[in-house]
Amino acid sequence: MSPCFKYMMQSQNFIKPSHSSYSLTIFLVSLLFYFHDDFCCARLITLPQNITVPAVIAFGDSIVDQGANNNLNTLIKANFAPYGKDFVGGKPTGRFSNNKTPADLIVEQLGIKELLPAYLDPSLDDKELLTGVSFASGASGFDPQTSQITSVLSLDDQLKQFKEYIEKLKVIVGEERTQYILANSLFLVVGGSDDLANTYFSIGIRRLQYDIPSYTNLMVSFASKFIQDIYKLGARRIGVFNVPPIGCLPSQRTLAGGGLRVCSEEYNQAAQIYNSKLQPEVERLNETLIESRIVYIDVYNPLLAIIENPFQYGLEVVDRGCCGTGNIEVSILCNKLLRTCPDDSKYLFWDSYHPTDKGYNILINQVVGKYINDFF
């Protein structure tokens, strides 16, 4: 069976049918996938009429880091086994998963290309630049101290690279086409988890200076400024992801969940406080920045629903990752010396912090299906 066909069958519920003929359409498209692998990047999302998305551009942390950290002087890497175990050829690429990331899934569902590369990928060609890249860096955050602690790319660094990227586009296609690409592309901004889980709670540097309400105010302020910065550079369709229930991540269960490794309510409440402030700020920006479509994307509640009802989603293990014991292993602690679980499709998490390919597919299919039309 064609791998594209298998993927299509797994993802056919990506968006809810809007009319009775939709299921038939999915079936017919699936047949095309089966007989013609050249259709591997056929669009799986129904966009409004006369709407195009030329590229996807991502900023943020390890959720959409496509390999930016590979050549940085940092311990926060994933360019070694067993990461990438289920990737094409079993190749570790720097993605913090056993396979693809949400950025890959979104760009594929839009029919743009199969994978979203890192901007720092040395093999990038003009075609890849024109159809989108990721500037994200694992362990980064809205708080500048978050990236400083782990020696990764801050959002300011990512913004500088974005400016460089824009100049490259101008050389390739000219000023007018560059502005068209920027205005019509889908921008993903994913951050905040490392600010709370690491900088505030685990390492505790900011905890000496701020309580949770004041620190979340600081985070929202940084997030708002970053959104405005990319808007000034031409971004218009911007998806801003909130913080998931970080207290239920396997590593945070281990660090703060007590002997039974339950979800840390303190951590989850901090995420909820941040999210409750981020949403109105995103809505305010959407109203004040001309011609913008800035969309607040909730991943907190969908991920929590999966954690609380795993069997409903075909999962069995949600309190530990597939790598090693699954309790604490992430990045260099999840390495080729450790065994992995026999069937990662039963696990929500690949390591103690990041979902499996199966987990990402379940989550992203729900999220994008819910929000895609809000960008147009």
Is 156 part of the annotated catalytic residue set?
A: no
- 245 and 306 in contact (C-beta within 8 Å)? no
Catalytic residue among 65, 104, 351, 357: 351
223-256 burial string, b = 16+ CB within 10 Å, else e? bbebbbebbeebbbbbbbbbbbbbbbbbbbbbbb
Catalytic residue among 62, 97, 140, 154: 62
3-class SS at 245? coil
Respond yes or no on whether the N-terminal peptide bond of residue 82 is cis (omega within 30° of 0).
yes
- 278 and 242 in contact (C-beta within 8 Å)? yes
Q: In 3D, which of 144, 356, 127, 354 has the Cα closest to residue 246?
A: 354
Is 319 part of the annotated catalytic residue set?
A: no
- 209 and 160 in contact (C-beta within 8 Å)? no
Provide DSSP, 125-178.
-HHHHHH--B---TT--SSHHHHHHHT---HHHHHHHHHHHHHHHHHHH-HHHH
Instruction: Answer positive or negative: Cα dihedral of 298, 302, 307, 308.
Output: positive
Is 62 part of the annotated catalytic residue set?
A: yes
Instruction: Answer positive or negative: Cα dihedral of 139, 143, 149, 151.
Output: positive
Catalytic residue among 65, 319, 354, 357: 354
Catalytic residues, by residue number, are: 62, 351, 354
